[in-house]
Amino acid sequence: MINKLLRRNPKQSSSLHDSDDAWDSDPSDSESDFSGDDSYDSEIASSPLHLKSSLMRRRIPERTTTKDVSTGNSIPPTRGARRRRVWVNRGKDCALLLGCFATYVLCFSILLWLAALCFIYVRNTFGPHDRDHRQKSMARRRPTSVHIRQKDPGILDHLSNSIAHTWNEMTKPIHPPPRKRIKGSEELAEGCVRPEWQERAFPNCNEMHEIDLLSTLIRSETEDTATDGIGFLDSGLWRSVWAVDPRPVMRTPVVLKMMKQKHAVDERNFDRHRRDALVMEQLTYSPNVVDIYSYCGNSVLTEFIPVPLDALIGAEEKIDTSKTGGLSRDSPDGRLRLALDVARGMKALHEIPGGPIIHADIQPRQFLVSSNGVLKVNDFNRCRFMGQDARGIPCKLMIPSAPGKARSPEEYEGEQLDEKLDIYSIANVYFEILTGVNPWRTKTADETQRLVKQGVKPLIRDEFRKPGTSDEFLADLTLKAYSMLPIDRPSAAQLVDAIENYLSDKRRRPKT
């Protein structure tokens, strides 16, 4: 009805356009300005955004006419202006749709991330821990752990079987699942505390990073290692041992010990190497403890001593005494001197202020014979720090595992332990120094464990106990150290005093 009236009387149309109230009362009347143009109406009707554009125009009406200043009449917009207005409305509609779509995508992405984080948290906290799956996933990454095989494959042609074996060990899965620990098995008893220095660490990675291990590998295969000893030395259960060239920092080789990658890089193993380095650092003053130069992570750099005690004991041919400072086990006095240095090394451990420190892995291979004739104790990565109670009395502790044949009865029984377990292990070392053979060489590990728990002592034959000789005295000390009860065993200090007094008395005796 309004459209018909506007078509009949244009003046009324202009009066309506002149009034803002008229626009606000019925915005739909603005469409009457275009009703006379059929092409324009058909264009609007054919637009897919016609409905929405109409709604937008109804909500936010715009003036579509202008006034003639001279006559005061309303002038309808030109066709070009009408088209521009259509495209502006279309652009606004498209922008609105794009904004809504972008907002939807953003919200959906945020929800997906939150859901993924919640799933990972719940799975790691409450879900099952599949060790095989973790190990397989680590195994898929192992080619990246051995860069020599990928970048320098020709180097392996120059390596011996022993060194190639070491690199093959590195291809095994890294970071395996940590071994189970008995909960609370190594915790101190209530009321026992450790000194502050036992919780410290003094890493020094700079010197470690200066070592060129690759050059050491090539040099050990292309040059005479008998002159300087540079190259691969040994591979134990936990670590590989190398003699490396630290020049120009030093002129003599040093020993680099690195944990094998088949072992877990976890807090437990970090603490093992921290204790190893800390003991050597704290006992630098002792001539019977190996010196440390650097420690970083699961690696340690120590002084180079090429002759271990087990090689000196089990040598089929005589070892050049110039490399051992005159020490040998070829004479009774020489054997007693070796036993004295073993006890001195243990005394330094057991009587350290705030101690004692338990070595917990005493065997002949843990002692090194230096070129100046001094025996030094080595390898403290299995050691334990004993705390003290309020009265200053050392607190006993437990070690959850006791592998091998060199353990004490209380270790095999899983009882509370103190430093006297090292004395029982010293008895095994003394037996080998005296006889040249391992006391349990003919027994299996299970048989050895059963005999030790029963209190059976290895037999020392009479040929190693000649009356009036140092061997007889050493045999007696060995049997005392083999005592079943820890309280019946002599301390390391008592062993040192006994041997020193014997040697002193022997020097004062008149020669016959």
What is the C-alpha to C-alpha distance for residues 246 and 211, in angstroms, rounded to an integer? 6
Judge if 368 and 478 occupy the same domain.
yes
Judge if 405 and 291 occupy the same domain.
no
Nearest partner of 431 among 441, 446, 420, judged by Cα: 441
Query: pLDDT above 70 covers what percent of the chain?
Result: 65
Q: What is the mean pLDDT of residues 118-136?
A: 64
For residue 427, the model assigns a pLDDT of 96
The CATH code of the domain that includes 294 is: 3.30.200.20
Decide if 107 is inside a domain: no
Beta carbons within 10 angstroms of residue 159's beta carbon:
18
Q: Show which of 67, 82, 97 is a domain's final residue.
A: 97
Judge if 296 and 374 occupy the same domain.
no
- Angle (deg, nearest 10), helices 420-435 and 492-508: 40
pLDDT digits over 192-251, tens only? 888 888 888 888 888 777 777 777 666 666 655 444 566 667 766 667 776 777 665 556
Q: Out of 313-317, 363-367, 439-443, 460-464, pick the least confident.
A: 313-317
**Under a CB-based contact definition with an 8 Å cutoff, are residues 227 and 305 in contact?**
no
Judge if 233 and 191 occupy the same domain.
yes
Decide if 139 is inside a domain: no
The CATH code of the domain that includes 499 is: 1.10.510.10
Q: Out of 225-239, 258-272, 392-406, 410-424, pick the least confident.
A: 225-239
Decide if 118 is inside a domain: no
Decide if 417 is inside a domain: yes
Q: Show which of 40, 62, 97 is a domain's final residue.
A: 97
| DSSP annotation of 390 | T
- Taking 60 as the threshold, does the pLDDT of residue 43 lie above it? no
pLDDT digits over 262-314, tens only? 777 778 888 888 999 999 999 999 999 999 988 888 889 898 888 889 888 87
For residue 347, the model assigns a pLDDT of 96
Judge if 256 and 194 occupy the same domain.
yes
For residue 138, the model assigns a pLDDT of 44
Decide if 119 is inside a domain: no
How would residue 403 be classed by pLDDT, with cut points 50, 70 and 90? confident
Decide if 152 is inside a domain: no
Average pLDDT, the chain: 75
Judge if 320 and 448 occupy the same domain.
yes
Inter-residue long-range contacts of 245-252, CB under 8 Å, 24+ positions, other chains counted: 245/212, 245/215, 245/216, 245/219, 246/207, 246/210, 246/211, 246/293, 246/301, 249/207, 249/210, 252/304
Q: Show which of 304, 319, 344 is a domain's final residue.
A: 304
Main-chain dihedrals φ then ψ at residue 308, nearest 5 degrees: -80, 160
Nearest partner of 454 among 416, 412, 489, 403, judged by Cα: 412
For residue 419, the model assigns a pLDDT of 94
Q: How many domains does the chain have?
A: 3
- Taking 70 as the threshold, does the pLDDT of residue 145 lie above it? no
Main-chain dihedrals φ then ψ at residue 511, nearest 5 degrees: -75, 140
How would residue 51 be classed by pLDDT, with cut points 50, 70 and 90? very low
Judge if 384 and 367 occupy the same domain.
yes
For residue 164, the model assigns a pLDDT of 46
Judge if 361 and 466 occupy the same domain.
yes
Decide if 116 is inside a domain: no
Judge if 318 and 422 occupy the same domain.
yes
Judge if 322 and 214 occupy the same domain.
no
**Under a CB-based contact definition with an 8 Å cutoff, are residues 81 and 75 in contact?**
no
Judge if 249 and 346 occupy the same domain.
no
How would residue 475 be classed by pLDDT, with cut points 50, 70 and 90? very high
For residue 6, the model assigns a pLDDT of 44
For residue 161, the model assigns a pLDDT of 46
**Confidence (pTM):** 0.63
Query: pLDDT above 90 covers what percent of the chain?
Result: 30
Judge if 318 and 432 occupy the same domain.
yes
Q: Which domain holds residue 75?
A: 2-97
Decide if 427 is inside a domain: yes
How would residue 477 be classed by pLDDT, with cut points 50, 70 and 90? very high
